[in-house]
């Protein structure tokens, strides 16, 4: 039972990270200028990505018979620094928005890395987390590439 609860806690922490990611990208989309339609589309894709991940994680939490987390981070064991990410999403120029997004993506990678360090995760959960982390890494690299291409 202890392992089940610990696994659900890890999954719920990742749900919170995805909730924060959704919130951060929604705020970033609102703060972009009209000429940044490409970024608005990219951020919408990332929001959809996190919704999909959140659903997969929540399905596993429910299968464990535990309560699914619905909020954003405020006490998650795995990742607390996302609160800082939400505070820095402010309307600036394109490069600054991308810089802030990359910081958020770094935070998500760190949260997923810490989740994978949990030793007693069942193999199917470890695979789910690992797959999500790899895809989130692709998103991170896209944000970094766009940020680096700014003058």
Q: List pLDDT tens digits, range 38-93.
A: 999 999 999 999 999 999 999 999 999 999 988 766 544 343 444 345 445 554 67
Query: What is the pTM for the complete model shown?
Result: 0.85
Structure tokens at 22: 């959704």
Q: Given this model, what pLDDT does residue 74 score? A: 54
Q: Given this model, what pLDDT does residue 75 score? A: 46
Q: Given this model, what pLDDT does residue 107 score? A: 86
Q: How many residues does the chain have?
A: 151
Helices in the chain by DSSP H: which ranges? Answer: 2-31, 37-63, 82-88, 94-116, 123-148
Q: Given this model, what pLDDT does residue 29 score? A: 84
CATH of domain 1-149: 1.20.1260.10
Q: Using an 8 Å Cβ cutoff, are 31 and 90 in contact?
A: yes
φ, ψ for residue 67 (rounded to 5)? -80, 140
Q: List pLDDT tens digits, range 11-35.
A: 999 999 999 888 888 878 887 777 8
């Amino acid at each position: 039972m202890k392992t089940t609860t610990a696994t659900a806690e890890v999954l719920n922490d990742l749900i919170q990270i995805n909730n924060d990611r959704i919130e951060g990208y929604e705020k970033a989309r609102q703060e972009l200028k009209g000429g940044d339609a490409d970024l608005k589309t990219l951020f919408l894709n990332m929001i959809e990505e996190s919704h999909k991940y959140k659903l997969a994680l929540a399905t596993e939490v429910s299968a464990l018979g535990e309560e699914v987390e619905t909020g954003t981070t405020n006490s998650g064991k795995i990742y607390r620094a996302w609160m800082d990410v939400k505070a820095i999403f402010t309307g600036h120029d394109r490069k600054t928005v991308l810089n802030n997004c990359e910081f958020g993506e770094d935070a998500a990678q760190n949260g997923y890395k810490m989740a994978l360090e949990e030793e007693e995760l069942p193999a199917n959960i470890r695979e789910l987390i690992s797959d999500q982390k790899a895809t989130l890494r692709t998103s991170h690299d896209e944000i970094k590439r766009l940020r680096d291409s700014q003058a």
